[in-house]
Structure 1
């Protein structure tokens, strides 16, 4: 499912401004190579392809996440693995195995460093995801254990990304830089480029610098590998809405109210209260978003859209949709707060309550323990993920090409050549 979902959102993301600006500003078209810039017919060097496709994969904020890593694992790995796979002649099974290795690596770093790392303000998609990408690419490229360890040490110096840049083009740039950095670390290490073997444990190494002394547990990173693998439990979290995952439970609670009441007239609403996890609010409490990207991180905007439109879709986060008068008129009445005592179990970091007070004094409320797709225990049905892929891919591919891509992805383990597979994803320009 990770390949299906990530390629779909990457193809759709390729139509957005961030990858276009990146491609033009860095003049990536000056050098040709074996790796496809998804959503185009252009072929770049594998590092450039990993960079721009990584940006495309995350620019819509529609990609899956690792609950344990607290970041977007597949969006950083798949672009790097596809680009490297095209360059080295890998097949689909090679990519799937490498993705599993990388997903587990990212999760293991999450076990040892989160949630202090996340709450400190680092963006784990890139600060921990770079280790996931490095491990995945090391597996794909056939690095030895010693070369892999060296590559991980090298990538510790490439980890970067702060949550202050959420809601801007720099957030998906984190993913692109991470994809490029992890692949580059593996490529350099394969050729003998050295790094400190103590890059993590050193007093000035990654653990102490990024988390601070006493705020990590290195032993948890290496214990109990495969018992079970994180990719199966809790599993990757998939999205039905192209916005921050921290708003999804609140969206679904609002949609539950719409299912009972019908879409709301903004004039009938006196006040809307939302209660979401305290951990989410630093990046989702945005009472008045100032751009389409910023709206993706506004729980107030997302809930308002759900209540007034009965859905939350792509178009709500494009162009000037965030300025729509009836939505902006409701936003001052939508309030965000952390879970109240007793609303949820103390370890619930996904649930939400939405309460609507109407002008006649009546109150309607709905509660969601976790949004659909947040764990392997409440998965999004495969037919919905396939429909999501079709919707995303159809932004750049015709119906026949979308069907061919779906057919190949369904049999991805049998794909003999990633280069031949990506030919199915090429566009006319």
Structure 2
């Protein structure tokens, strides 16, 4: 298979209709997620809308949920989540951020229990979970639950994979735990989003710790009371502030959520107690860190509707709110053969969140470029892509990119939805080209195909893993349910001597 060609994916006419990729940033999600957010009939008993019994109801569900009960579409999305996460974690494994984390923690790491994806080092499972979580998020290329903008796999799969090397688990149990972890963090995220996010919490870290605890606790075989304690201990460890965006600290958050959740489950497995109502109590997690608490989002329809089925995957290595603008830029570039030196101006009409989240006009380093709609549009026009290479220090500091970036303007338009953009490119000779993006590639309605996910995977791991090993790893992810020991995936994902 050839490397992932984002230009080809976005060529004019290649996609008849694109999907709403930034719906998760909206205050009310669009039609694709509306149905999934409706309470299902037969909602789990034991928890009221006021929140009484929420933590225990959720714990009871996690403990009793069986792989056999997962619908086929949920299992399928679980394997896609796994494949995408492995690819981005291996791809990010040699970023300076990961190098620094490995250097800092090596003297303090315990027994060599688990591998670091894409590398040869082995750490104790808590530190391995942390570093793999950092690695998987550093490119901002990981999965996204659009309703909450949680990146679900980072906290959950980082904890699970490290644990699988210490505590053997079958492929079916691994996949079941992964889905339950994603379900847990996204439901809890639904209960407090957007208020919790708006005040500055990084919800992938704050909700992700619950997913990691639930997944690890499931593999460890916690009983109901122990799972209540695991969730309670997770609630005591919220991590991540939005102020960290654009720095190494952002990827710290899912990494720490993974290790914190795993830590909580391990303690609970030995009888380390917590309050039985740490999520919903007056001075518990939800009331302490959010002005919104919709507990029905946590308990309604457990085992009937699945947030884990709503996961999406990025074709571009940056915040989803920029994706419509990148989509428009690449389509116009390809359709009209646009060259940067011919362009007088690029004018965008955008939703307010685009400016709020990605309004950096003069990014200095690659990580800051991920939060600049101006850089993203300029580099997309010049290079026809917006992958990890387009968010390197090299790309952000490229004089040609800077020159075009300075000719990009973004204006808030109240009629533009978060998943839309209205772009007009004016050429120096007076010609104008216009593109309105209703929905961008990579969302629920028009998701990345399995073939596109594989191509993205191979592009990310190129130069880190040999092609034969990469393809063996892809096969193991697709067939995780058939594995006698899920740790095989970890062994295939590390660098070989």
Q: Structure 1 residue aligned with 2:333, among 243, 258, 265?
A: 258
1:69, 1:109 within 8 Å by CA — same for their partners in 2? no
Query: Normalising by the residue count of structure 2, what TM-score does the alignment of the two structures yield?
Result: 0.81
2:377, 2:405 within 8 Å by CA — same for their partners in 1? no
**Residue 111 and residue 31 in structure 1: after superposition, are their counterparts in 2 closer, same or farther (change >3 A)?**
closer
Q: What secondary structure sits across from 1:320 in the alignment?
A: helix
2:109, 2:127 within 8 Å by CA — same for their partners in 1? no
In the other structure, the counterpart of 1:366 is 435
In the other structure, the counterpart of 2:91 is 12
1:332-354 residue CA offsets vs partner (Å, 9 max, x unmatched): 2212233432x44xxxx322222
Give ranges in structure 2 of 5+ residues lacking alignment: 1-79
Q: What secondary structure sits across from 2:306 in the alignment?
A: coil
2:150, 2:189 within 8 Å by CA — same for their partners in 1? no
In the other structure, the counterpart of 2:62 is none
**Residue 179 and residue 357 in structure 1: after superposition, are their counterparts in 2 closer, same or farther (change >3 A)?**
same
Give ranges in structure 1 of 5+ residues lacking alignment: none
Q: Distance in 2 between matches of 1:405 and 1:419?
A: 12
Is residue 306 of structure 2 the alignment partner of residue 229 of structure 1? yes
1:68, 1:111 within 8 Å by CA — same for their partners in 2? yes
Q: Distance in 2 between matches of 1:263 and 1:269?
A: 8
Is residue 350 of structure 2 the alignment partner of residue 292 of structure 1? no
> How many residues end up aligned between the 2 structures?
418
1:263, 1:310 within 8 Å by CA — same for their partners in 2? no
**Residue 280 and residue 117 in structure 1: after superposition, are their counterparts in 2 closer, same or farther (change >3 A)?**
farther
Q: Which runs of 4+ in 1 moved over 3 A?
A: 337-340
Deviation at 1:136, TM superposition (A): 1.5
1:29, 1:44 within 8 Å by CA — same for their partners in 2? no
In the other structure, the counterpart of 1:340 is 414
Q: What secondary structure sits across from 1:385 in the alignment?
A: helix
1:23, 1:29 within 8 Å by CA — same for their partners in 2? no
Is residue 464 of structure 2 the alignment partner of residue 385 of structure 1? no
1:301-358 residue CA offsets vs partner (Å, 9 max, x unmatched): 11111122222232222233211111111222212233432x44xxxx3222222122
In the other structure, the counterpart of 2:67 is none
In the other structure, the counterpart of 2:163 is 84
2:86, 2:493 within 8 Å by CA — same for their partners in 1? no
Deviation at 1:255, TM superposition (A): 1.2
Q: What secondary structure sits across from 1:287 in the alignment?
A: coil
- Greater alpha carbon shift after TM alignment, 355-364 vs 155-164: 355-364
1:119-148 residue CA offsets vs partner (Å, 9 max, x unmatched): 221111101111111112122221112211
Question: RCO greater where, 1 or 2, for CA within 8 Å and sep 6 or more?
Answer: 2
Q: Distance in 1 between matches of 2:192 and 2:412?
A: 23
User: What RMSD over aligned residues (CA atoms) do the two structures have, in Å?
Assistant: 1.7
- Greater alpha carbon shift after TM alignment, 14-23 vs 411-420: 411-420
Query: Normalising by the residue count of structure 1, what TM-score does the alignment of the two structures yield?
Result: 0.93
Q: Structure 1 residue aligned with 2:256, among 177, 180, 187?
A: 177
